[in-house]
Chain A
Amino acid sequence: MQSKHSPTKWLTYFVLLVWAIISLLPLYWVFSTALQLPDYVESDPPKMIPMGIVEYFTHPENRSQIVHDTFSGFQQLFNSTNIWRWFFNSAYISIVVTAGILVLDTMAGYALAKKQFPGRKLFFWLIIATMMIPGQITLVPLFIMVQNLGLMNTHWALILPDLSMVFGVFLMRQYMLSLPNDLLESAKIDGASEWKTFWKIVVPLSKPALATLGIFTFMNVWNSFLWPIIVLNDADLYTLPVGLKTLQDQNLAIFKLLMSGAAVAAVPMIVVFMSFQRYFIKGLTLGGVKE
């Protein structure tokens, strides 16, 4: 529409860049503070870059000390907190739930999309209805239930309710409605069993929806906070967000340490995002995945 170098275009770029910087600044600040030399963490005015980078060149005689100080937040984090444990807990719970959700929701979505069985509509509307109800309503009953089942302070208390979320069923159903019926029927005529049809034809064809569902499930479980702080007591069982909260609650006010912890928790999601960006984007336009 406009010529390549029109002033409007430059203005657009300028506005967008400024806003993007503002948006990314807090995230940058996490890493910048985590890597800041301890003496500069609390300085007025704040230092915008980790001063180790500057001092590395201005004080070549102190290089090893400067490098050590730059990473001392992480060192303290790894030595004096359970961060690896929390990281491991978060990772394995997220993977288990994601894998489970993919299996369960694909199966259920397939049944709802491609099978004509009595009760099909009932189940579908039940799912739609519960998707509308805010999670806070089930907080207390779920808590009492988890207690009664003896699951309190175990990872089961996180995994089972997460596996029960219905959004994925809805997503998979919507996606599978578009799969051609002929293909499924010809498979049956060829003598493929129900399971084989599902596994060899439906699952491969649903790959884009599966990728989206997997990513969003992983992200939601990795970031989940409210429920884990309620059901986990033992510091060894904490997930990363809960562990970070305790770090903050311990009232140490050591921002370098806090931000190092935040950085450790942020990196995996950033990596996941960078590698699967197109699925994130696709997922959002596939029917508004994010909660």
Chain B
Amino acid sequence: MSSSQATQLPEQSQLDAKALPPALRRRPSLLREMWKQRAAYLFLLPKLILFTAFVLIPVIWAFVLAFQEYGVFGSEWVGFKNFTSVADSEAFRTALWNTLKYTVVTVPLQVILALVLATLIHPLGRRAQSFFRGAFYLPTVTSMVIIAMVWRWVYNYRYGLFNYMLGFLGIPAQDWLNQSNTALWALIIMSVLIPPGVGIIMYLAAMDAIPDQLYEAAKIDGASGLQRWRKITVPLLKPTTLYLTMLSLIGSFQVFTQILLMTGGGPGHATETLVTLIYKTAFRDLEFGLASAQAIVLFVITLIFGIAQYWLMYRKAEE
């Protein structure tokens, strides 16, 4: 056993520290401590280098870019100009409004749907449970590019499955993706009909963790099934609900792929969302500074929504 390895044992390093003069004993020098733990840094180093280069620096850079106007042969500082353009821009307001509409409808529906489906699946036998879990989760692992392509085909005005199905209900055919009053709704319907696989699985796991005694006790008190669900299941699932809502919120604020592939933000600007706008501003209009400012505003909005939602749910819980 080489001595350098031995010093890495916690006990050993404490012994070392005791051998030091009293002034250093309580706070061993930082460098020394770091040297002793050099193995830890070596384990961390490769990831740290990549992380610094491709995550940390870009994040800081984004905040710098937001105050610049980028040019091919040099950038210039423009102060808050990019942020004032964001505030003044009608395109941004439209995109924000569309994103909000999309979020406000899809997030609650996705979460509620997950809760309801999980509730229905939970009492079933093992085999049935795993079958439904798989059936609802499978579409979630499929690339959004594929889902968007097939839904574009499903929404086809003449030959699409959607109009055909609606035909049974007596609803006249619509050119769903190409009319400005239906296009966003078509995207919303699609995102609700993609099953909330993640949510179902997480709810099921959380339901497993609820002790049976709680239900037994409620049963003795004469509570009906629905009452037990409302008074026991739903409140105890609150952390899961919160987490899922957050996840869904972030996802719907960043909705992009299906829009780019299905409507491109049109017709007009009917389905332009924040991320499609950021993408276009950056990589079509090449206004990098403005795009960075838009992305930062998106971040702030997401943050505000997240905090508000957290606060709402927990304040309610305390009532």
Contacts and interface: CB of A to CB of B under 8 A. Distances in A.
Interface stretch (A52-60, A68-76, A137-145): A137-145
A284 B149 contact: no
Interface in B49-107: 50-51, 53-59, 61-62, 65, 70
B30 interface: yes
A26 B151 contact: yes
Contacts of A138: 55, 58-59, 62
A118 B257 contact: no
B310 interface: no
B34 interface: yes
Most buried by A among B137, B146, B251, B282: B146
Interface in B139-194: 139-147, 149-154, 156, 158-161, 164, 167, 193-194
Contacts of A27: 138-139, 142, 150
B234 to A, nearest CB: 18
A265 B145 CA distance: 10
Interface in A25-56: 25-27, 29-30, 33, 41-46
A37 B136 CA distance: 29
A273 B141 contact: yes
Given A269-B142, A277-B134, A226 B61 contact: no
B57 to A, nearest CB: 7
B137 A280 contact: yes
B153 A33 contact: yes
B152 to A, nearest CB: 8
B24 interface: no
A260 B138 CA distance: 19
B9 A137 contact: no
Contacts of A291: 247, 250-251
Contacts of A24: 135, 138-139
Interface residues of B, number: 96
Contact of A290 (B139, B247, B288): B247
Given A12-B124, A23-B193, A105 B299 contact: no
Given A26-B147, A30-B146, A288-B202, A164 B46 contact: no
Contacts of B161: 25, 29, 46
Nearest to B125: A4
A222 B278 CA distance: 23
Nearest to B199: A284
B144 A118 contact: no
Contacts of B109: none
A44 B296 CA distance: 47
Contacts of B296: 137
B149 A244 contact: yes
Contact of A44 (B158, B198, B282): B158
A140 B291 contact: yes
Interface string A1-26: 11000000000110110011011111
Contacts of B140: 290
B136 A111 contact: no
Contact of B143 (A15, A222, A290): A222
B103 to A, nearest CB: 14
A45 B158 CA distance: 9
A30 B61 CA distance: 42
B9 A185 contact: yes
B62 A188 contact: no
B295 A130 contact: no
Contact of A142 (B58, B132, B152): B58
Contact of A225 (B39, B143, B154): B143
Contact of B256 (A161, A226, A266, A281): A226
Contacts of B303: 132
B305 interface: no
A260 to B, nearest CB: 11
A270 B283 CA distance: 32
Contacts of B47: 104-105, 107-108, 164, 166, 169
22 contacts: A2-B123, A19-B136, A26-B193, A27-B139, A44-B159, A104-B47, A111-B44, A117-B34, A118-B37, A134-B302, A137-B299, A138-B58, A141-B58, A142-B54, A160-B53, A164-B53, A166-B55, A191-B5, A241-B143, A277-B137, A281-B201, A288-B243
Q: Please give me the 4 A-B residue pairs with the lowest Cβ-Cβ distance, nearest first.
A: A115-B40, A117-B37, A141-B61, A164-B54
